[in-house]
Amino acid sequence: MARKDEEINEDEENERPKPKKKSGGALKIIVIVFSVILLIGVSVGATLMLAGVFGQHDSEEVAAAEDDGGDASAEDAPKEKSKKSKDKKSSKEPKAPPIYVELGDPFVVNFVEGVQIRYLQVKIEAMTRDPVVSEAIKVHLPQIRNNLVMMFSNLDYASLTSAEGKQSIRDKALVEIQSILKTETGNTGAEAVYFTSFVMQ
């Protein structure tokens, strides 16, 4: 009887499915780790692309090629790209605040129009963004005023009545100031000239 029980137990053990060995466990861990690393890499790459780190150089090259009509050679492309990036940097830099320099008392000039004597009274300010140029304008003010008086005295009445004529006078005054500054300091310096008062009689 005991033998029969032992035989039955052996048969039951033989019939039970044996547990499978975990031979693929290490492979599953490797696949999971690789998947996690791949997901991290993709997310970092997508973040950098959205932030503009990737693709920025390509878009600059395309824009440079479009500007040149697509005729730029491969050797010229890096030079032009660096020049454009410098231009972009300089254009992004904020400008210094303007400095206005009053050119002394109003200029009073008389001139003949037909048989009448006319008078022009003009108050002028020069604009620069460089404090050094501002000081240079003050230092050379007698020479600047002299040249402007000479310029105003050669005007005719017709050139003073239109807006275009007044703009032309402003442009000539700016050129005169820049010429003096260039001669004396080596830097044109002044960016604009403004009439703060303009009276004709």
User: Average pLDDT by consecutive 10-residue portion of the chain (201 residues)?
Assistant: 53 55 71 85 75 55 49 51 56 80 88 78 91 91 91 78 85 92 88 89 78
Of 158, 170, 75, the closest CA to residue 124 belongs to 170
Residue 188's pLDDT is what?
85
Rounded-to-integer distance, Cα 58 and Cα 66, Å: 12
Rounded-to-integer distance, Cα 18 and Cα 21, Å: 9
Q: What residue segments make up the domains of the chain, in order of their start?
A: 28-92, 99-200
Rounded-to-integer distance, Cα 167 and Cα 144, Å: 19
- CATH value of 99-200 in 2.120.10, 3.40.50, 2.40.160, 3.30.479: 3.30.479
